[in-house]
């Protein structure tokens, strides 16, 4: 369907990748850890190695949670748009197939938040 309008109704999207100064948006969620109330949005360079996401970007973001120190990235399960997905940490975000506004989630088996409440 489309908008009912009195004349041609066409506008550019407000968040196309060209507006982010060379970065692209990546959304990241940590399953079973809702102490972080929502997934995060990050503007990241597409040529950034995936390993840098794990080693540099996420630790200050999730480090407050007592479970985070116990995360074993080798065992983490990843999902892209909800479907199982396997990133290669040595490759860049773009080489891992991540495009502007993609959403990825990780599950850390055995870690289920504060007192097992998924917090």
Partner 1 sequence: MDMQATKKKLNLKEKYRAMTRDLDWNPSYQKLEDIYPYASYEGVKIHDWEKWEDPFRLTMDAYWKYQAEKERKLYAIIDAYAQNNGHLNVTDARYLNAIKILLTGVTPLEYMAHRGFAHAGRQFPGAGPRVACLMQSLDEIRHAQTQIHSLSNYNKFYNGFHEFTHMFERVWFLSVSRSFFDDAVSAGPFEFIVSIGFSFEYVLTNLLFVPFVSGAAYNGDMGTMTFGFSAQSDEARHMTLGLEAIKFILEQDPANVPIVQRWIDKWTWRGYRVLTLVAMMMDYMLPKRIMSWKEAWEVYFEENGGALFKDLARYGIRPPKWLDQIAQDKDHISHQAWCTFYNYALAANFHTWIPSEEEMDWLARKYPNSFDKYYRPRLEYWREQAAQGNRFYNKTLPMLCQTCQIPMLFTEPGDPTKICYREADYKGEKYHFCSDGCKEIFENEPEKYIQAWLPVHQVYQGNCFPEGTDPTAEGFDPLAAVLRYYHLESGRDNLDFEGSEDQRNFAAWRGQATTNA
Contacting residues toward partner 1, per CB under 8 A: 1-6, 9-11, 13-16, 19-21, 23, 25, 27, 29, 31-32, 34-43, 61, 64, 81-82, 99-103, 105, 113-115, 117-119
Report the residue number, 4 or 74, with the smaller CB distance to partner 1: 4
Residue 17 Cβ vs partner 1, minimum distance, rounded to whole Å: 9
| Residues paired with residue 42 on neighbouring β-strands, in sequence order | 26
Nearer to partner 1, 22 or 90 (CB): 22
CA within 13 Å, CB half, 53: 30
Give the Cα separation of 16 and 99 in Å (integer): 11
């Amino acid at each position: 369907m489309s908008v009912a309008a009195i004349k041609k109704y066409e506008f550019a999207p407000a968040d196309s990748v060209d507006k982010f100064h060379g970065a692209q948006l990546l959304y990241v969620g940590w399953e079973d850890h809702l102490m972080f109330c929502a997934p995060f949005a990050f503007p990241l360079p597409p040529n950034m190695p995936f390993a840098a996401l794990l080693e540099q970007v996420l630790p200050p973001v999730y480090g407050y949670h007592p479970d985070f120190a116990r995360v074993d990235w080798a065992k983490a399960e990843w999902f892209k748009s909800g479907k199982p997905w396997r990133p290669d940490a040595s490759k860049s975000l773009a080489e891992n197939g991540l495009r502007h506004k993609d959403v990825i989630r990780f599950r850390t088996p055995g870690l289920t938040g504060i007192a097992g409440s998924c917090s």
